[in-house]
Amino acid sequence: MKRTVSTDEAIKRWNLHAESFTATYTKYGDRSRIINLNPTIFSLMDEVDGKQVLDAGCGEGYLSRVLAEKGAEVAAVDYSEKMLEIADKRTPSDLGIDYHHGNCENLSFLDGEQFDWIISNMVIQDLEDYDAAFREMYRLLKPGGSFVFSILHPCFITPNSGWVRNERGEKEYWKVDRYFYEGVYDQRFSFAADKPIVWYHRSLTSYFKVIKQAGFVIEDMVEPKPSKEMLKQYPELKEDLNCADFIVFKLRK
């Protein structure tokens, strides 16, 4: 029988683990965001000064704040009350960010608003009804507007992926398994071992289909890897990576 986890239960877990998840966040998010996600996201975005931007699944709000500091008018949505509480504490009121409690699968409370940019950083994989979310993003964009989203790379991060180690416990290679599995799986962060955060795996083909059905054109796609500057700044990173952890898309309405 296919495993299911209700959205209410998934959000309860985000509420439970929101403090731990965001404990290492700096002004620019955690290490993955600083090294891989932010440089990629910003390389796919143009000038946001004076533009209407929606941060869909904003979490503790670092990206909303960075965008607001660049002059964007930012609305942000998250379904976890705890994440929004943290976002509220970390956000100076003069940035004017409009935080909303809501589900990215149904953003009808934003009816009447139209955005130049929608950005969703590591959220789509949380959504059970991701088709609905893509339709919502399409509906809320101005004609010609763009939707930039990042997810775990579905070709490499799969339900049973992980390091295979030798008898001395040293990493040998990264194993990928169950690529074509479509559904929920546990993300075993050390702080959430008992009640794991749940994410959905889908193949690239499935992503492509829902993106196309929603009406989008794929304008760009990047598999982030650390730049030379980042490799200098974080020498523990290896230039010769095993695989891409993330994939970032830019879609055009």
Ligand X SMILES: C[S@@+](CC[C@H](N)C(=O)[O-])C[C@H]1O[C@@H](n2cnc3c(N)ncnc32)[C@H](O)[C@@H]1O
Q: Which residues bind ligand X (CB under 6 A)?
A: 7, 14, 29, 57-59, 62-63, 77-80, 83, 103-105, 121-123, 126-127
Rounded CA-CA distance 141/217 in Å is 13
Q: Considering the complex, state which of residue 62 and residue 185 has its C-beta at the smaller distance from ligand X.
A: 62
Residue ranges of alpha helices (H) inside the chain are 7-21, 31-32, 38-43, 62-69, 81-90, 130-140, 204-214, 228-233
Q: Considering the complex, state which of residue 164 and residue 193 has its C-beta at the smaller distance from ligand X.
A: 193
Does residue 205 contact residue 163 with C-beta atoms inside 8 Å? no
Shortest Å, Cβ 172 to ligand X = 29
Does residue 210 contact residue 134 with C-beta atoms inside 8 Å? yes
Q: Considering the complex, state which of residue 83 and residue 141 has its C-beta at the smaller distance from ligand X.
A: 83
Shortest Å, Cβ 61 to ligand X = 8
Among candidate residues 36, 89, 101, 35, the one with its CA nearest the CA of residue 62:
89
Strand 246-252 and strand 217-222: the pairing is antiparallel
Per-residue buried b or exposed e for 177-187, using 16+ beta carbons within 10 Å of the residue's own CB: eeeebeebbbe
Assign 73 to helix, strand or coil: strand
The H or E element spanning position 29 is: none
Shortest Å, Cβ 8 to ligand X = 10
Shortest Å, Cβ 26 to ligand X = 11
Rounded CA-CA distance 150/154 in Å is 11
Shortest Å, Cβ 69 to ligand X = 16
Q: Considering the complex, state which of residue 105 and residue 223 has its C-beta at the smaller distance from ligand X.
A: 105
Q: Considering the complex, state which of residue 31 and residue 167 has its C-beta at the smaller distance from ligand X.
A: 31
Shortest Å, Cβ 215 to ligand X = 21
Shortest Å, Cβ 103 to ligand X = 4
Q: 241: how many CB neighbours lie within 10 A of its CB? A: 12
Q: Considering the complex, state which of residue 52 and residue 64 has its C-beta at the smaller distance from ligand X.
A: 64
Q: Considering the complex, state which of residue 57 and residue 224 has its C-beta at the smaller distance from ligand X.
A: 57
Residue nearest to ligand X (CB): 59
